[in-house]
């Protein structure tokens, strides 16, 4: 269940739901969707109205509760902190196990939410931390994306770390960047994923503009968050053109591997917000799995992975000069760029892959349903 994420979210649909389907579970996904109902790859999707404004999302909470209870499911698994009260009601009314999947450090995220007045963010963050810590005691299990979150919830409930590692067994797709967009292998930098104010897209564009390589392009694909400022939105929609920059929109999930593996390098220049500093970005492992070098923010967890694997270059994400210098280094040292990409791919095949994380998820379900 989710009131925030689209139905084909990489973690929810392509990783967790698909893992459960392949293990023989019947999976129903309740999520905001354009269609009222459809089945895709063994997952039955029950659609909710899609609201453009976050203040309208509570209208879906009652719908989620009704749809979930009608399923008479063996397990209820929800993905958004705003659904904690809904999860509590489901637990009380159904009596079955409930799982809360924690994607981010939400109290820290609140501190950087631009739609909340600055003077109010700290108060809301403290109140939400208290509320979340109080309500998680009713759930049967917490699924978290990294050990830092696991430490935060230590002693609250059963906590299982299921990292957002890359899937390396992607389905074959006929989609190619050459045929679709005329992009040649190694001729472009790439960024994929959510485009938001804290994701460093503006800094990456500025660093790209400072380069003097006429044949190099910067390609960006993903959903545009409502927090994106007007000046960046104008670049994305083409009303303020930047030579060499291309925004491809929101691409199908199966198209992403082909776009990534043909790139010169992947950009991961998240800005130093409290949540980003302690985060484990999905795109880090997607870039590694695609076999391309990474230019990444020098944050705690990212640093540990990049340095241990030697799969990229760490930079200060607020410095466009450092981002430009890292790009030039990879352009001027192609053999090193290839080696770093191969190191990342090898690490994903050996360690940072979803197969191992999927087994943790299945083990949790088996523990919650021992008699089924």
The residues near 55 (Cβ < 8 Å, ≥ 6 apart) are none
Residue 204 has pLDDT above 70, yes or no: yes
Supply the pLDDT for residue 23.
Answer: 97
pLDDT exceeds 60 at position 173: no
Q: Are 194 and 220 in contact (CB under 8 A)?
A: no
Tell me the average pLDDT across 135-143: 94
DSSP annotation string for 260-299: HHTSSEEEE-----HHHHT---HHHHHHHHHT--EEEE--
What value does the mean pLDDT of the chain take?
Answer: 92
Each residue's pLDDT tens digit, 301-346: 999 999 999 999 999 999 999 999 999 999 999 999 999 999 999 9
223: left (phi over 0), alpha (psi -120 to 50) or beta: beta
DSSP state of 112: T
Residue 115 has pLDDT above 90, yes or no: no
Q: How far apart are the C-alpha atoms of 276 and 7, rounded to whole Å?
A: 24
Q: Are 313 and 329 in contact (CB under 8 A)?
A: yes
Residue 53 Cα distances to 4, 56, 65, 82, 352, angstroms: 11, 6, 21, 15, 36
The distance of Cα 260 from the centroid of its chain, to the nearest Å, equals: 16
Write out pLDDT tens, residues 181-197.
888 888 999 999 999 98
pLDDT band at residue 172, thresholds of 50, 70 and 90?
very low
Question: Which whole number is the average pLDDT over 356-369?
Answer: 95
Q: Which residues contact 346 (CB under 8 A, 6 or more apart)?
A: none
What percent of the chain has a predicted confidence (pLDDT) above 70?
97
Element (H, E) at 54: none
Task: Compute the average pLDDT of residues 1-9.
Answer: 94
With 50 as the cut, is the pLDDT of residue 68 above it? Answer: yes
**Span 292-302, mean pLDDT?**
96
Got the DSSP string for 213-254?
-TT-EEEEESPBPTT--HHHHHHHTTSS--TTEEE--S--GG
- In this structure, the strands spanning 245-247 and 265-268 are unpaired
Reply yes or no on whether the pLDDT at 102 is more than 60.
yes
Q: Report whether 227 contacts 115 (CB < 8 A).
A: yes
pLDDT of residue 252: 86
Closest CA to 170 of 286, 272, 90: 286
What is the pLDDT confidence band of residue 372, given thresholds at 50, 70 and 90?
Answer: low
- Report which of 111, 102, 292, 328 is spatially closest to residue 198, judged by C-alpha positions: 111
pLDDT of residue 170: 54
Can you list the domains of the chain with their CATH numbers? 10-165+354-368 (3.40.50.2000), 177-350 (3.40.50.2000)
């Amino acid at each position: 269940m989710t009131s925030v994420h689209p139905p084909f979210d990489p973690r929810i649909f392509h990783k967790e739901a698909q893992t459960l389907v392949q293990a023989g579970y019947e999976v129903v996904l309740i999520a905001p969707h354009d269609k009222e109902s459809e089945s895709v790859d063994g997952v039955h999707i029950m659609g909710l109205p899609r609201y453009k404004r976050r203040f309208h999302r509570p209208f879906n909470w009652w719908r989620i509760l009704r749809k979930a209870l009608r399923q008479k499911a063996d397990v209820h698994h929800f993905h958004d902190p705003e659904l904690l009260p809904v999860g509590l009601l489901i637990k009380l009314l159904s009596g079955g196990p409930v799982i809360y999947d924690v994607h981010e450090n939400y109290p820290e995220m609140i501190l950087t939410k631009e739609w909340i007045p600055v003077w109010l963010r700290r108060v809301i963050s403290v109140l939400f931390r208290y509320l979340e810590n109080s309500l998680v005691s009713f759930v049967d299990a917490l699924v978290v994306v990294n050990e830092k979150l696991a430490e935060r919830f230590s002693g609250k409930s059963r906590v299982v770390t299921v990292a957002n590692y890359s899937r390396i067994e992607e389905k074959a797709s006929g989609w190619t960047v050459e045929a679709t967009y005329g992009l040649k292998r190694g001729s472009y930098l790439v960024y994929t994923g959510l485009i938001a104010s804290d994701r460093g897209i503006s800094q990456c564009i500025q660093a790209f503009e400072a380069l003097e390589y006429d044949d190099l392009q910067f390609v960006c694909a993903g959903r545009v968050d409502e927090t994106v400022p007007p000046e960046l939105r104008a670049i994305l929609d083409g009303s303020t053109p930047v030579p060499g920059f291309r925004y491809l929109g929101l691409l199908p999930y199966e198209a992403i591997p082909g776009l990534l593996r043909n790139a010169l390098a992947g950009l991961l220049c998240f800005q130093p917000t409290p949540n980003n500093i302690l985060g484990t970005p999905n795109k880090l492992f997607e870039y590694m799995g695609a076999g391309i070098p990474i230019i990444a923010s020098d944050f705690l967890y990212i640093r540990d992975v990049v340095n241990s694997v030697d799969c990229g270059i760490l930079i200060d994400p607020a410095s466009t000069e450092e981002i430009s210098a890292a790009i030039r280094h990879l352009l001027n040292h192609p053999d090193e760029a290839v080696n770093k990409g191969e190191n990342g791919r090898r690490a994903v095949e050996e360690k940072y892959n979803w197969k191992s994380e999927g087994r943790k998820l299945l083990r949790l379900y088996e523990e919650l349903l021992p008699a089924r």
